[in-house]
Chains A and B, each alone.
Chain A
Amino acid sequence: MDAIADRPKTYKYGFVTDVETEKFPKGLSEEVVRAISARKNEPDFLLEFRLNAFRWWKEQEPPRWAHVEFPPIDFQDIHYYAAPKSMEDAPQSLDDVDPELLRTFDRLGIPLHEREQLADVAVDAVFDSVSVGTTHQDILAEMGVIFCSFSEAAQKHPELIKKYLGTVVPPRDNFYAALNSAVFSDGSFVFVPKGVQCPIDLSTYFRINASKTGQFERTLIVCEEGASVSYVEGCTAPVRDENQLHAAIVELVALDDASIKYSTVQNWYGGDEQGRGGIYNFVVKRGRCEGARSKISWTQVEAGSAITWKYPSVILKGDDSVGEFYSVALTNNRMQADTGTKMVHIGKNTSSTIISKGISCDQSKNSYRGLVKVTPGASGARNYSQCDSMLVGDGCEANTFPYLEIHNQGAVIEHEATTSRISDEQLFYLQSRGLDSEAAISLLVNGFCKEVFRTLPLEFSVEAVKLLEMKLEDSVG
């Protein structure tokens, strides 16, 4: 811990929790896949799902098209399963959970004991490869909402898992999706039955702790007809000089009139000034608006990770369905981000909105890459995209790579992007009013991101603003 104390204050979640960890040996093989499945006592169909994915993955080459640079990943040098030892005999309730783990989440500001602070948020805490505990399950159960770890869902609700798993992101979707499908260890499962408005926000908190491990979690959220849910994801990892891989999959399914709001505050460790260490965050997130008038909304605040490479997407299959993507991506030091969204319009009168704000500081690279696709049958499709980039410092890069593929006459598609820096006039004005330069920049950046922040649930909006301020302090101050 002392070594870490010397580090800049940038990353306050950089501590390591000293718990005994059980890891599988390094490397990936069919045995490892089978062992993960066996450890979780999974039904046969899941083992088959994993093995199919693994066999395909073996044949594939890692993709290289993103505007990011990193040395090739040695996939045999990663532990594919790590779990705190105390989890071996699955705890029956939070009282059985190792107090050290609970303290970890307390320090992260995620109290697992249901206390005053985040009283109206149910949390599923994932530590390395396993879920440590899920709060508020009783309230949710009353409403018929299922919110539990993926492993638990595989035991208790195999029929739902079988029905929906891999329907949005098929195992052969891409290299990292296949890798995840083969070795995913845990994650969250949410099922909101017909007509139920989930009364509290659901949240998963991901924590990577063990070294030399990869985290491969899987989230599946299903909203039946007329149901709605708001879901928040947060993540941190210790400061380490090595790069760790995080390759997750999130699948959302919204049936008729259902609405899913998925918010992410991503603050994985992003490496130091020299670009040493940090998480490779290669995530596949996709939602399908299956039913008519359904709605899926992604909000992301990406403030961490050495490399962020993800495109939360919406497939607008149901007529009149709505997709939204609000993103703030801040990169500093030598972080690299290639992120954006895909909106695929299939149903009639579908609409989508994309608001993306990129802020690059120091030596970082920040790219927006997005696709708006209107298929021939999607008459009346409407899209509005706005991608703004802000550069802070002259060593950084801000790129915009939008793709518009329009195969329908009735579509109305608009895309706008701007790139600029904080204007000297604005800074001068604020400083003349007595704000110091740091506060002035923070205020301007907040204004720049406001459209996105206001879509976050309140507590997380506050957290996001603080997070950005903290990151900017080190870059600008």
Chain B
Amino acid sequence: MKRLRAIPPARHYGEQLDALLAQNSAGETSALQKQRQTAYDRFMAQGIPTRRVEAWKYTDVTRLAEEVFRPVDPAGITPQTLADLPYCHDGDERLVFVEGILQPDLTQRPDTSPLKLSSLSSASESAPQEVPDNPFVALNGALWRDGSMLDIPANQKLDHRVHVLFLHAAHSDPSVIHPRLHVRLGAHAEARVVVTYAALGDGPCLNNAVLDVDLAEGAQLSLVQAQVLNEQSTHLGFTRITQGRDSHVASMDFHAGSALARHDLTVALDGEGASATLNGLYAVRDRQHVDCHTGIEHRQPNCSSRQLYKGILNDRATAAFDGLVRVHPGASGSDGEQVNRNLLLSNDCQANAKPRLEIANDDVRCTHGATVGQLNDQELFYLESRGIDPAAARDMLSRGFAEEVLYRMDDKALHADLHAILDSFFEASNERD
């Protein structure tokens, strides 16, 4: 029997598209509606990939071909709900999407903010030029309900943080959101953007996000993406960063929560002297699964990239990291570093790593490394000899392992947020021990 490389998606996806097109609540132009149809056709043509496809070797999403997640209408979120969320800070410029739709009454914007906000429904220019080979990006293109374009004009430096929150409210029926966001920084602009994907209830949900980021010459962006969905949820993320000359991105990619998470993060270093720092941390337990893919394209000379992705695995959790650094023929003076480290806390977890280098220029310095291992016995022994009980010692060392990534964030408040999320991860792990 020939093993299939893709499975045809079920009818309900088409029904959702038809409903969206018929409803047209945002008064979309026919051009935009046509884009949706095209994206849908592409999704159907590609189908749901099986593990026979190399990029999906470690992540099985075939159940998405049949499983039905439906969009839900936003309700039940008040400003008080947000105030209770640990990762919402006063002073942030905040955009809140509930069930994928922007809520103006929850949005919080300083009067003086130079950030220009527009709806993607009207900004047709946001249509990505290059279509990635990913059916879920196509699905997002067909079924997204609302999205925003964030423009930071040239030479503007945002002092405050911009927090974009995509919320699944509490409900029990399987729901879906296709978050869509486009962030643009003009020349020499500076900004800090945090994108959070969260679920307030325990109900199953599908979060299929697409984030586009463009940096013009000399722009600087600190980007944090935190996925803290619930244990019933599926997260599919696609982030595409394009960088101009001498621009810099510092990205933090954080995953703790969903049953299954898959994130593709691609960075195109399209201008000479651009640099990108990608940090990532994933913590999984029970039967959670996370799969982080990074792809850095060194297209121009003298660009540099740094990647550090670390994973903590417990119980029967599985994780995969697939990182690619590609140096194109003209990109001399490229400097790439990629490191993936995994900490296994139980005997039943599985870590897979695929750090890849594709180099087509001789004037480069590229390295990568990957390690998988457990806590160091000698370190444990040392702590125990100082009177620390074994469980606490394990805890300390595991947190220290995570801290190597987290301390790279300049933002102290965010640093504390992510630590708080990790706390609950360790607590849940320790309860079982």
Q: A-side interface residues toward B, CB under 8 Å?
A: 65, 376, 379, 389, 391-421
Contacts and interface: CB of A to CB of B under 8 A. Distances in A.
Contact of B360 (A396, A402, A421): A396
B327 to A, nearest CB: 8
A397 B364 CA distance: 11
B369 A409 contact: no
The 5 closest A-B CB pairs, nearest first, are A391-B362, A404-B353, A406-B372, A413-B372, A400-B357
A415 B338 CA distance: 11
Interface in B339-390: 342, 344-374
A403 B351 CA distance: 11
B366 A418 contact: yes
Contacts, number: 114
A415 B352 CA distance: 12
Given A391-B361, A398-B359, 11 more contacts: A379-B347, A399-B356, A399-B357, A400-B368, A404-B353, A404-B370, A412-B372, A413-B371, A414-B370, A415-B368, A420-B365
A417 B350 contact: no
Given A409-B346, A409-B347, A419-B367, A404 B361 contact: no
Contact of A411 (B346, B366, B372): B372
Contacts of A376: 347-348
28 contacts: A392-B362, A394-B361, A397-B359, A400-B356, A402-B355, A403-B353, A403-B354, A404-B354, A405-B350, A405-B351, A406-B342, A407-B350, A408-B347, A409-B347, A409-B349, A410-B374, A411-B374, A412-B373, A413-B371, A414-B369, A414-B370, A414-B371, A415-B355, A417-B357, A417-B368, A419-B366, A420-B364, A420-B365
B54 interface: yes
B329 interface: yes
B251 interface: no
Contact of A405 (B352, B373, B374): B352
A415 B369 contact: yes
A293 to B, nearest CB: 24
Nearest to A418: B367
A401 B349 contact: no
Interface in B135-177: none
B332 interface: yes
Contacts of A400: 355-357, 368
Given A409-B346, A409-B347, A397 B360 contact: yes
Contacts of B349: 409
Contacts of B361: 391, 394
Contacts of A415: 353, 355, 368-371
Nearest to A421: B362
- Secondary structure at the A interface, as helix, strand, loop or mixed, is strand
Given A412-B373, A416-B367, A419-B364, A402 B359 contact: no
Interface of B: 54, 329, 332, 342, 344-374
Nearest to A368: B357
A416 B357 CA distance: 11
Contacts of A397: 358-360
B362 A399 contact: no
A179 B303 CA distance: 46
Nearest to A392: B362
B352 A406 contact: yes
Contacts of A421: 362-364
Contacts of B353: 402-404, 406, 415
Nearest to B350: A407
A460 to B, nearest CB: 29
B359 A389 contact: yes
Contacts of B332: 394
Nearest to B365: A420
A406 B351 CA distance: 5
A205 B309 CA distance: 47
Contacts of A399: 356-359
B349 to A, nearest CB: 7
Instruction: Kindly name the residue among B54, B329, B362, B366 whose own CB sees the greatest number of chain A CB atoms within 10 A.
Output: B362
B374 A409 contact: yes
B350 A394 contact: no
A61 to B, nearest CB: 9
A394 B354 contact: no
Contact of B354 (A379, A402, A419): A402
A379 B346 CA distance: 12
Contacts of B346: 409
Contacts of B368: 400, 415-417
Nearest to A391: B362
A94 to B, nearest CB: 48
A400 B357 CA distance: 5
Nearest to B58: A405
Contacts of A402: 353-356, 370
Nearest to A415: B370
A389 B349 CA distance: 32
B374 A417 contact: no
A415 B369 CA distance: 5
A396 B353 CA distance: 26
B312 to A, nearest CB: 12
Contacts of A393: 362
Contacts of A416: 367-369
A313 to B, nearest CB: 18
B433 to A, nearest CB: 13
Nearest to A61: B2
Contact of A409 (B344, B352, B365, B371): B344
A402 B356 CA distance: 7
A391 B346 CA distance: 41
Contacts of B54: 65
A257 B332 CA distance: 50
A426 B309 CA distance: 33
A403 B353 CA distance: 6
Contacts of B355: 400, 402, 415, 417
Interface centre among A398, A410, A411, A414 (most CB of B within 10 A): A398
Nearest to A397: B360
Given A397-B359, A399-B359, A417 B373 contact: no
Nearest to B321: A404
A296 to B, nearest CB: 23
B354 A417 contact: no
A408 B329 CA distance: 40
A401 B322 CA distance: 10
Contacts of A413: 370-373
A95 to B, nearest CB: 53
A416 B353 CA distance: 12
A58 B69 CA distance: 43
B362 A396 contact: yes
A419 B371 contact: no
Nearest to B327: A419
A401 B363 contact: no
Nearest to B339: A416
A397 B369 CA distance: 20
A421 B329 CA distance: 14
A384 to B, nearest CB: 10
Nearest to A402: B355
A90 to B, nearest CB: 44
A1 B81 CA distance: 87
Question: Most chain-A CB neighbours within 10 Å: which of B54, B347, B352, B372?
Answer: B372
A416 B366 CA distance: 11
A101 to B, nearest CB: 43
A310 B427 CA distance: 47
Nearest to A377: B347
B372 A404 contact: yes
Contacts of B374: 409-412
A100 to B, nearest CB: 45
A394 B329 contact: yes
A394 B363 contact: yes
A419 B352 contact: no
For A401, A409, A412, A421, which residue has the most chain B Cβ atoms within 10 angstroms? Answer: A409
Nearest to B344: A409
Nearest to B54: A65
Residue with the highest number of chain B CB atoms closer than 10 Å, among A376, A389, A403, A412: A403
